[in-house]
Amino acid sequence: MNSSHLSRRNSLKLFALTGTTILAMPNLLLSCDSKRDFKIRFGILTDSHYANREPVGTRFYKDSIPKMREAIATLSTQKLDFLIHLGDFKDQDAGAKTEDTLGYLKKIEAVFQEFEGANYHALGNHDVDSITKEQFLKKILNTGQQIAQSYYAYTANGMQFIVLDANYDADGTSHHFAEGSDWENATIPKKEVDWFANLLANSDLPTVVFCHHPLYEYYKEGSKFHVTNYAEIQQLMEANGNVIACFHGHVHAEDLKEINGIHYITQLGMVDYEGLENNTFSLVEITPNQLKIEGYKRASNKHITL
């Protein structure tokens, strides 16, 4: 699939969803009664890490193309409101050449865009390895956006969805690991925090938040996987009172925690283990009374009463 075809596809999505998609402009949000009935169904994929390289540990990078193709084909039959990838969309090979990494991004994005409905990306740390954040964003499409943004919001079926980007240093400098950024120092900078606070303050819609990095404390094998200023983000969400759940990738493990009424859900990574039999992706359904996750293959089912 060439880039001109992707552009035409995104244009069709933009026109079809203009009435339901909100970009990073909180003053455009419309307040409504958050207690009204709603039902949303969406697909989640994360940590595909596609690259043309040999396996390293449990990561089978080349297998993410057939795994992604299977996930898109399966989820396309489910009448979803949208599809979101939670980051580490692609990876790099040992040479870490910019042109090769951009080629891996182009290839996995072409498969992802075969989904006919609305689709979105959150940015992971491996998305800013040998390429910059700007280079990554120029090569992907988010429904309703002329130019892909790294943090943004949209609405669907009476709910608000917010995508955060923690790939920054504390001073607001975007991460670029080829220039020595520390992947464990993932911060949501002040500008984005202020935007997030204003967005929450200007809407009483039931809300779901997506972020590649966990918005709660998470250590694994001695490394820090969570957003450094997660407590600040938690306080904003708890004060708002409308945030139902936060979904994450990054740690390649399943986890579920409830903290002060908000459900924090972390998903398995698609790249891990060989072959389609080890694929992993999920379908999420949310209504006022419950949150259900239907996991495919390695992913687990979950049923949460709200």
The predicted-structure confidence for 52-74, as pLDDT tens digits, reads as follows 999 999 999 999 999 999 999 99
Q: Which residue has the higher pLDDT, 12 or 251?
A: 251
* Cα 112–chain centre separation: 13
Rounded to an integer, what distance in angstroms lies between the CA atom of residue 168 and that of residue 186? Answer: 6
| Amino acid residing at 301 | N
| Helix 64-75 × helix 98-112 angle, to 10° | 20
How many C-beta atoms surround the C-beta of residue 49 within 10 A? 28
Which pTM does this prediction carry? 0.89
How many C-beta atoms surround the C-beta of residue 241 within 10 A? 12
Could you tell me if 136 and 108 are in contact, meaning their C-beta atoms sit under 8 angstroms apart? no
Could you tell me if 45 and 5 are in contact, meaning their C-beta atoms sit under 8 angstroms apart? no
pLDDT digits (tens, 9 = 90+) for 224-270: 999 999 999 999 999 999 999 999 999 999 999 999 999 999 999 99
pLDDT digits (tens, 9 = 90+) for 24-41: 333 333 334 445 689 999
Is residue 93 classed exposed, middle or buried when 0-12, 13-18 and 19+ CB atoms within 10 A define those classes? Answer: middle
Rounded to an integer, what distance in angstroms lies between the CA atom of residue 290 and that of residue 284? Answer: 11
Strand pairing partners for 7? Answer: none
Compute the C-alpha angle 280/216/184, nearest 5°.
Answer: 80
Residue 103 has pLDDT above 90, yes or no: yes
